[in-house]
Amino acid sequence: MLIVGREVGQSVIIDDEIKVTVIQYGSKFKLIIDAPNNIRISPIKRDSEKRVKIKKTDRKIGETILIGKNVKVSMIQTQSGLLRFAIDAPKEISIFREEIYKKQTEELIS
């Protein structure tokens, strides 16, 4: 599991095609998930509640979402302008801060 701290407007890139961005709505921090249409995004409900399909929407502190079949993202904490969330994914799935991802792809192109 990877714990990530991101400020408003910052993102992480998961597996080269999923972008998770921190936003602020009023006084609350939320996550925006941007993924291709073929990747299912669904909240993981506590107890025996059913999963409801969602796409490109925001999440709240304490919630966990499932991206695809094996990536879980949980919002765990906020601190003065910073949101911490946990990403639980298999080792073969790459996870990068967006600025690092962009730098690496620019180096590959050059």
Mind listing the pLDDT tens digit for each residue in 61-95?
678 999 999 999 998 877 777 888 999 999 999 99
Q: Predicted confidence band at 48 (pLDDT cuts at 50, 70, 90)?
A: very low
Does residue 60 contact residue 36 with C-beta atoms inside 8 Å? no
Does residue 98 contact residue 11 with C-beta atoms inside 8 Å? yes
Can you tell me which residue has the tokens 């998961």?
A: 14
pTM reported for the whole predicted model: 0.80
Q: How far apart are CA 105 and CA 65, in angstroms?
A: 27
Can you tell me which residue has the tokens 């192109």?
A: 109
